[in-house]
Amino acid sequence: MSWTKMQRLTIAAVLAGGLLAGCDRPAQERFPTTDRLTPGIFLDDEAERAVLPAGVELRPVYQKGIDLTKLSEGFRSRLYNDAAGYCTIAYGHLIKLARCDGTEPAHFLRGVTESEGEQLLVGDMRTAQIAVIIAVKPELTDGQFAALCDFVFNVGSGNFNRSTLLKVINAEEFDKVPFQFRRWIYAGGRELAGLKTRREREIELFFEGLPMPRLPPPVDMDLTPIDIRAGEPI
C-alpha cells in the first residue's frame, strides 16, 4: 500500500506531537521514584576511593558475580529516582546526586538496553574491584572475589575497609565470614528483606566449591546488625 504525501505528513505530525507531549509532562511523572537503594560505591568520599597501584592488574569479576549484582540491583531501562532521590538508570548506575529533570545526556533520556546496562555495571564495579584487591590479603577464589565485590558495590569501600568482615577474612577465619555478612541488613534504620537475600547470595558465592561452615558463632562475636549507610561502629 502506498502513502500519499498528506498521509505521511499527518502521521509525522502525530508522532512529533506525542513526543513533545511526553517532554511537557512534569518530571515527577516522567521519572518515577522507587525504593531502590543507591549503591554504596557512589556515596564514598573521594578520599576513601582507592587507586590501583602501578603494575597491578585489575582482576575481573567473573560472569556469575556480575549476574549476582544484576539480580540484586534489578534493571530499569529508563531513568528513575532512587530512594535517596538520585537520578539513576539500569543496574543502579548513578547519573547524578539529584533528581532527574530532563537535562540528563540524550542517550540516557532515550533509555538503555540490558546489554548497555551490563556495560555500565561492569564499569561501575571497577571501584569495588580495586577496593577488594587492595584491602584483602589472602588469595581469593573467583567466587570469593566476586562476592566481596558485590558487597562493596552495595555498602561502599569505606564501610568495607572498616568492617569486621574484612578483619576475619584477612585473619583467614573463614568460619566467621557468614555471620559477618549477615550483619549488614539494615538501611535507613530498617531491616530490609532485600538486603538479607543479597547477603545470603553473597555467602553462597563466597563458599562456591568450598565447605560451608556449619558451626555456631563464637559466644564473644558481635552480631549486632549494621546499617549499610552508617557502617560498623569503630
pLDDT in tens, 91-135: 999 999 999 999 999 999 999 999 999 999 999 999 999 999 999
Average pLDDT over residues 58-86: 98
For the chain, percent of residues with pLDDT exceeding 90 = 82
**In CATH, what is the architecture of 38-79+113-206?**
Orthogonal Bundle (1.10)
C-alpha distance across the termini of the chain, in Å? 74
Q: What is this structure's pTM?
A: 0.88
Cα–Cα distance between 83 and 80 in angstroms, integer? Answer: 10
Q: Could you give the C-alpha distances from 77 to 40, 61, 81, 88, 222, in angstroms and in order?
A: 21, 23, 13, 10, 41
Confidence of residue 18 (pLDDT cuts 50, 70, 90): very low
Alpha carbons 176 and 217: distance in angstroms, whole number: 7
Confidence of residue 184 (pLDDT cuts 50, 70, 90): very high
Tell how far CA 27 is from the center of its chain: 24
Q: How confident is the model at residue 28 (pLDDT cuts 50, 70, 90)?
A: low
Catalytic annotation, pick one of 73, 118, 202, 232: 73
Q: Is 73 a catalytic residue?
A: yes
